[in-house]
Amino acid sequence: MAVRITQKLLPRFKKSLNTSATPISLEPSLNLSIEKPIDKSKLTEEFLKKFKTSFNINSISARSAFIIGKTSPTLSTNQGIGNYKADTSDEKTLDFDDGKRLFKSVTTGKLIRSILNQQMASYDPIVNIGIWVMRSRLFHISFIRYIILFVVKHTFYDHFCAGENLDEARTTLQKLWNGGLKGIMDYGLEDATDNTSCDRNFNEFLKIVDTTKLLPPSSVSYACVKITAICPNSLLKKVSDLLRWEHKDPSFHLPWKVDTLPMLADSSPFYHTLNKPSHLTPTEEHDLDRAHQRLLKLSEKCLEMNLPLLVDAEYSSVQPAIDYLTYSTMIRINRDGNRIVHGTIQAYFKDAKERLIQATETAEKMGVILGLKLVRGAYLSHESTLASSLGFSSPIHESIQDTHACYDECASIMLEKVSKGTGAVVLATHNIESGKAAAWKAEEIGLEKSDEKVQFAQLKGMADGLSFALNNAGFLVSKYLPYGPVEMVIPYLLRRAEENKGLLATSTIDRQLMWDEIKRRLKRKIMKRV
């Protein structure tokens, strides 16, 4: 497949944009001929050139329109997902060129704040110091704590989160809805430590689902739940150990286990469980059943509300137990055309594709619609460090390119399942190439863009250009909206900071898209006044 680049914007185009690549300079030409003694365009260009230097943004033109057209003999790019090649018989556009249309619902002030926040989040010294302070004893000194929370509230919190309560989240959601996007509501609850905190968190999740009735119709695409909030982490760890041991030794009987889908593959990491674990005590079995009942009741409530539920992924040490609870609930709920419960596959794991294939095959045999959210993963440093400390190789792909390839292959598999009526997928990606490839694949196999079983998603404050481009092309797009008091969502913000250090440092595409639109607006205003 080839991609044709518009002539006026990329005359010196050297290679396709990819978030894994180092940004390149594309030097667009802006020809504004004005037959007057004073060349206003040159004055404007000079002003913008000086204005831009204060932001220290790498020079990369993201003013490109990616138009899938007929094969070009001189320029080709990503061949699509897996072995897939896009249909080139028709003109189909995922347009990143028209900034006016792309950011029509975003104010100039919001664009500037977004650039500054992303720029700060990409600067390692700032992020590292912030993480260190929030995890140190200094954070418990009231005066320092107040200053830190104030700064966080008016920078990263406002950028990545929807508000401190439901009213503020509703306002944020309304703004998204007005711009054509939906929201994935997630209340920032802490991990549970006992049944009391599990029940408290469970009731909060039920309230969140109930409150969607008060929001604009169809503005919320999914509810979100963390299993670690409704089941103690220590129990999840022990159940995961038992499931890993059972996979290694099928004769190892687990009396509490119910029907589920495959959670582990032969290529999965097993270094967490080097010795045979002890069985669950009667009390632990009872607690596991209570956790299962919480997830089942929440899923039934979502089914009643016709609101799909996303189950977040966690560390590999507890993920088998999370998948066990998710898949066993999915078997109960996702039947007769229902696509309520969605698990999560993290594509940065080497075993991700194998586990996905096993789950899809088993679900089809059982007549279950497999719902999945595909992400790249947010715990790279933790997973690699843990494996290394135990003397094992990392379970993470060796390179970001391998992770991209795994994500795209998993997306292709799930889109095929959707087309056959056996799957539902949320493509959670900030990678433009993966977004384009998945969009092309969906069109190629004839999926309706309005099909609710295929949706794209990005974090609030991330990849807005991709979100709006997909939405403008007709696809369903949501923003992940964590909300809650600042102190409650600090763990989420720390994860975002750690994850986004690498992501934002290596990709300036989203910032450049916003910067190009700011330039266009400033140029238009200046030209009117000169």
Average pLDDT over residues 456-468: 93
Average pLDDT over residues 136-158: 88
pLDDT-derived band at 187, boundaries 50, 70, 90: confident
pLDDT of residue 67: 29
Average pLDDT over residues 214-226: 90
Average pLDDT over residues 15-41: 38
Domain ranges of the chain: 1-8+39-160+482-530
More reliable by pLDDT, 32 or 187: 187
Q: What is the DSSP letter of 208?
A: H
Nearest to 472 by CA among 520, 447, 439: 439
Nearest to 523 by CA among 116, 115, 108: 108
Average pLDDT over residues 104-113: 91
On the question of pLDDT at 100 being above 50, the answer is yes
Residue 428 sits at φ, ψ, to 5 deg, of -90, 100
The β-bridge partners of 454 are 425
Kindly report the average pLDDT of the chain as a whole number: 82
171 contacts 161 by C-beta, under 8 angstroms = no
Sign of the CA dihedral running 39, 41, 43, 46: negative
Average pLDDT over residues 320-340: 97
Average pLDDT over residues 463-482: 94
pLDDT of residue 502: 55
On the question of pLDDT at 40 being above 60, the answer is no
211-223 in b/e burial notation, b at 16+ Cβ within 10 A?
Answer: bbeebeeebbbbb
356 contacts 372 by C-beta, under 8 angstroms = yes
Average pLDDT over residues 235-245: 98
On the question of pLDDT at 319 being above 50, the answer is yes
On the question of pLDDT at 71 being above 60, the answer is no
Residue 508 sits at φ, ψ, to 5 deg, of -110, 10
| % residues pLDDT > 90 (the chain) | 58
How far is CA 387 from each of CA 6, 212, 345, 394, rounded to the nearest angstrom? Answer: 47, 41, 19, 5
Specify the pairing of strand 92-95 against strand 65-68: antiparallel
| Residue whose pair of structure tokens reads 């406002």 in the numeric block | 158
221 contacts 298 by C-beta, under 8 angstroms = no
Amino acid at 372: L
More reliable by pLDDT, 218 or 23: 218
- Helix 432-444 and helix 464-472: axis angle, to 10°? 20
Retrieve residue 239's tokens: 């159940």
| Residue whose pair of structure tokens reads 């993201």 in the numeric block | 62
Average pLDDT over residues 274-279: 96
On the question of pLDDT at 362 being above 90, the answer is yes
On the question of pLDDT at 125 being above 50, the answer is yes
Question: Among 82-91, 109-118, 521-530, which is the least confidently predicted range?
Answer: 82-91
Highest averaged pLDDT of the listed ranges 5-19, 92-106, 129-143, 386-400: 386-400
On the question of pLDDT at 294 being above 50, the answer is yes
Q: How far is 206 from 204, CA to CA, in rounded Å?
A: 5
On the question of pLDDT at 90 being above 50, the answer is no
Specify the pairing of strand 182-187 against strand 220-225: parallel
pLDDT of residue 42: 53
pLDDT of residue 155: 87
On the question of pLDDT at 407 being above 80, the answer is yes
**Strands of the 92-95 sheet, one edge to the other:** 3-5, 65-68, 92-95
Residues 6+ apart with CB under 8 A from 175: 105
3-state secondary structure of 511: helix
How far is CA 127 from each of CA 11, 326, 494, 500, rounded to the nearest angstrom? Answer: 37, 34, 9, 10
Q: Supply the DSSP string of 99-143, one letter for each residue.
A: HHHHTTTS-HHHHHHHHHHHHHHT-HHHHHHHHHHHTSGGGGSHH
Amino acid at 168: E
Residues 6+ apart with CB under 8 A from 506: 19, 20, 22
pLDDT digits (tens, 9 = 90+) for 512-521: 899 999 999 9
The β-bridge partners of 218 are none
pLDDT of residue 233: 95
239 contacts 321 by C-beta, under 8 angstroms = yes
Residue 9 sits at φ, ψ, to 5 deg, of -95, -30
3-state secondary structure of 471: helix
How far is CA 264 from each of CA 267, 323, 354, 356, rounded to the nearest angstrom? Answer: 8, 9, 9, 10
Specify the pairing of strand 92-95 against strand 220-225: unpaired
pLDDT of residue 93: 54
Average pLDDT over residues 166-190: 89
Q: What is the DSSP letter of 55?
A: T
pLDDT of residue 509: 82
What is the distance, to the nearest Å, from the Cα of residue 391 to the centroid of all Cα atoms in its chain?
A: 31
Average pLDDT over residues 309-325: 97
CB atoms within 10 A of CB 486: 18
pLDDT of residue 172: 93
pLDDT-derived band at 49, boundaries 50, 70, 90: low
Average pLDDT over residues 323-344: 98
Question: Among 4-13, 158-167, 298-307, which is the least confidently predicted range?
Answer: 4-13
CB atoms within 10 A of CB 189: 21
249 contacts 211 by C-beta, under 8 angstroms = no
Would you call 68 exposed, middle or buried from its count of C-beta atoms within 10 A (0-12, 13-18, 19+)?
Answer: buried
Q: How far is 208 from 383, CA to CA, in rounded Å?
A: 31
pLDDT of residue 444: 94
pLDDT of residue 216: 81
On the question of pLDDT at 61 being above 80, the answer is no
pLDDT-derived band at 378, boundaries 50, 70, 90: confident
